[in-house]
Structures are given as structure tokens and as C-alpha cells.
Amino acid sequence: MPDTDIKNTEAQTLYNQEIYKYGRELASVNKTLTLLRELYKITLLSLDPVAVATQVSILMRDSLHLEMVGLFLFTHKEDTFLPLAFAKSDRLISVLRKLDFLFSDITITGVTKRSFFNSLFEGEFVVTRNISDIWGGLVNDNDLKTITESANLKTTILYPLLTEEKIIGVILLNYNSSYDQISASEKDSLKSFSDAIAVSLDKSYMYKELTMANKNLMAVNKEMELANKQLKTVDETKSSILSFAQHYLQNPIENIVMASSMLADGSFGDKIEDIKKASVRMFESARHLSLTVKMWLKALDFEENRVEYKIADLDLYNLISQIVKDWTLIANDRGIAFSFETDNHPPYTIKADQTWIHDVIINLIDNAFKMTEKGFIKLKLEKIGIEKVRFSITDSGVGIDMETLSKLFQKFERGHEGWRNNVEGTGLGLYISKKIVEEGHHGKIWAESEGHGKGATFYVELPIVL
């Protein structure tokens, strides 16, 4: 073989290796973003420490396919790891039932005096193959051996939960694989996950303590003044967090959406199919995270009467056509038939604020994709007489029962059955959409469904420019 051919072959091999490596990195980034997004959502939706710990442990168990996840609170005075929540695999639950005890009943005492835990208090994680390093002396040795063998526990990792360099707790992760078999990207991500969990728990306890303080201090004027100052501080902190999200989180997320969209639709040239699929998933995750942040910021705008509308002529057909392009990528990836049609009676020009109407359309399409695992999603634009234009979106998803229909557009309403089972919704999209359509544009929005399992149709009617 000529030297030139050999060099070309070697170059191609290196190129393929780099492409494969890049694809794996994209998949890892997507998985990390998804898990961090869910952790962030738990932080927003729950202020109870036990509820936060329970949701976090379940999320980590399912996302990382672990045998057990446990969250402990470190109590300085008692020098203990106090159990907050555990999520176990079905296999481990079965073993523990036979042994007739639960790990959540056991407080680990004298933790600062045990050499095994020393690294935790120095901010480092610890790894062991022997769960007796943790539970020894608290659980019968034979029981620990039975648990290890029956549940196939091969690796246990403990990560400290740190805030301001101080340990507030510990997260325990039980794997059914050896430490060497855990991917490098997952190991790297664990630190980020533990940091996010620490912030969630710390915030939950802060709110819990402030709530208790407020109740106790209401009886005394002097103490009431102190409580008001504390509440003011919390409010300023909330505003700072929201301002940070708006200026430093939302824009980078939008950049991810744009870049991943271009990567997925081939703007950068031909790609290996696996990379394209990973790109679509990354785009969908970033898009959803972006939408979630926007929902919370816009809900705050409505609550504090900061909403303004810039009304101008708007071609609704052009707006919807642009939106459909991005969602077509997601539909193709999921195998959902996605279409957009009109009644062929243009123009479809309305008087509206383009930004806000864009949000309404995005909310309704996002809602349809959440509730539709397979089948179709159909968009339609048509004129109703000479005074109105109607946009509708019909899906073959889980459907809506009559009770849910009556309160579907209320704040934080997420519905029953298939609706309630969807963990990604904020319960704000339809509430905000109703305010935009009816209060801001003198239109009408509603939903229809024949019931559970029979899909649904959402309608928006807006005045036409005459």
C-alpha cells in the first residue's frame, strides 16, 4: 500500500475516533443538563427539606440506575448523620423486607471520630466496596453480607454536601458495578450534582427556619420587626436570584438552543447519525430548560404587574412557520407525525405583541409534545368569519377529563392522570397563555377533549386587522 494511502487511512481513523469521542461527550453533556434541570426544578417547586430529599433521592436512583440513594443531614451537636430520605431498587427493597429493617431507621453516630469519614469533612468523596465501613456496628454483619450479595452492591460512594465550605450532609450512592466501570463523565458530574443538592437542601432549611421564626416572633413587636427584616432579606435574595437567572442563565441557555438547533439541522455540514440524534436531544433539553426559566420569570412579571404589550401588525402564519421548524426536529426524533396547515384564506394578520404571542404558541406546542408519546400533533390556522383568526393544535396524547378541563388554565394546575404524571411541567404555561390572550389581546383560549386517552385540542382566537 502506498505511503499516501496509509497516511489517509490513519487520518481517517483518527478522525472517526474524534467524532466518536465528541458524540459521547455530547451525550454526557445532555444527561448532565437533564439531571441538573430536574434538580433545579425540585428546588423551585418544594421548600420542605424532607420532600426535597425524597424527590432528589428518587431522581438520582432512576437517572443513574442505582441500587440505593440515601441523603443524610449532619448534626454538629450530636455528631451524627441523620437519615432524611432513601430511594431503593426493587431488588434491595425485597431483601430488606425479608430482614425486617430499613436503613432510614438508623442514625450513624460519632461520625467525626470515625477515620472512614475523615475525607468527607475535608470536602472529598469516599469510595468503598464494603458497606460495613458505613453500617458496621449498627447492622448485623450477616445482614450486611446478605444485602451486599443479594442486591449485588459492588461500590458505595459518599459525597459531602457543602455550603460555604461547611458540611451540611452526605449523599450515599450504591452501584451494582465496580468503581472502575463507572464512566469518567459520570464521575465528573457527581460533584456538580452534590453541589446542586446541597444548595437545594440548604435553601429548604433556610425557608423552614424563617417560617418557624416568623410564627414565633409575631407575638412581640420587637421580634416582629426582626422577622420583617429577615423576610426583606429573603425577598432581596429572591430578586437577586431571579435577576441572575435572567441575565446570566437565560442568555447562555438561548445560545445552547441556537447552536444545537443548527448542529441538528445540518447547518454545519454532514454528520454521523448518532451525533445528529445526540444533538437533537441536547437541543430539546436546552429548549425545555429555557422555557422553564422563561415561565417563572414571566409569572413573576404578571404577579408584580410588570407586563407591557407592544401592539403592531403581525403575520401569524409567518410566526408559526418559523416556530414549526425547530419543533420538526423534535417530532422526527420522537417519531411523531407533526404537521401545519391553513384554510388557504390569507392574510392572517392580527394586531398583537409578537413576543407574547410567540410565547403562547410555544407553550401550546410544548404542552402537546409533553402529553403525546406517539401518534400525531396537528397545527391549523384558519379564519372565523371576517373578524377572527383561529389557531388550533390537536394531539393524540393522554387526553383531558372534564374535571381537569374546568380548571386547566389556573396557576400551577397540572391536571390528573397523564397530565399529573408528567414531571416536566411547571403548571404556569397555560395560566400565562390565558392572561396573554384574553387580558392582553382581547382574544379567547380554551381546550376540548373527549376524555382520557383520546387526545385534546387547544384553540386560540384573536381579532383580525380590518
DSSP 198-241: HHHHHHHHHHHHHHHHHHHHTTSHHHHHHHHHHHHHHHHHHHHH
Is 284 in a helix, a strand, or coil? Answer: helix
Nearest to 32 by CA among 184, 171, 222, 165: 184
Determine the Cα–Cα distance for residues 423 and 429; give it in Å rounded to an integer: 14
Residue 394 is predicted with a pLDDT of 96
Residue 235 is predicted with a pLDDT of 63
Residue 57 is predicted with a pLDDT of 87
Residue 449 is predicted with a pLDDT of 92
Residue 133 is predicted with a pLDDT of 93
Place of cell 374546568: 406
Contact 421, 370 (CB under 8 A): no
pTM of structure: 0.42
Ordered per-residue pLDDT tens for the chain, 466 residues: 565 655 556 666 665 555 655 555 555 556 666 666 776 676 666 667 788 888 888 888 888 889 999 999 999 899 999 999 999 999 999 998 888 878 888 999 999 999 999 999 999 999 999 999 999 889 989 999 999 999 999 999 999 998 887 898 999 999 999 999 888 778 878 887 888 788 777 777 776 666 666 666 565 566 666 666 666 655 654 565 555 455 545 655 665 666 667 666 666 566 566 566 656 666 666 666 666 666 666 666 666 677 788 999 999 999 999 999 888 888 988 899 999 999 999 999 999 999 889 989 988 998 899 889 899 999 999 999 889 999 999 999 999 988 888 888 886 555 544 444 444 555 677 888 898 899 889 999 999 999 888 999 999 999 987 6
Which amino acid is present at 196?
A: A
Residue 146 is predicted with a pLDDT of 92
Determine the Cα–Cα distance for residues 300 and 307; give it in Å rounded to an integer: 10
Does the N-terminal peptide bond of residue 347 adopt cis geometry, omega within 30 degrees of 0?
A: yes
Contact 16, 23 (CB under 8 A): no
Is 420 in a helix, a strand, or coil? Answer: helix
Residue 266 is predicted with a pLDDT of 66
Calculated CA dihedral for residues 109, 113, 117, 123, nearest 10 degrees: 110
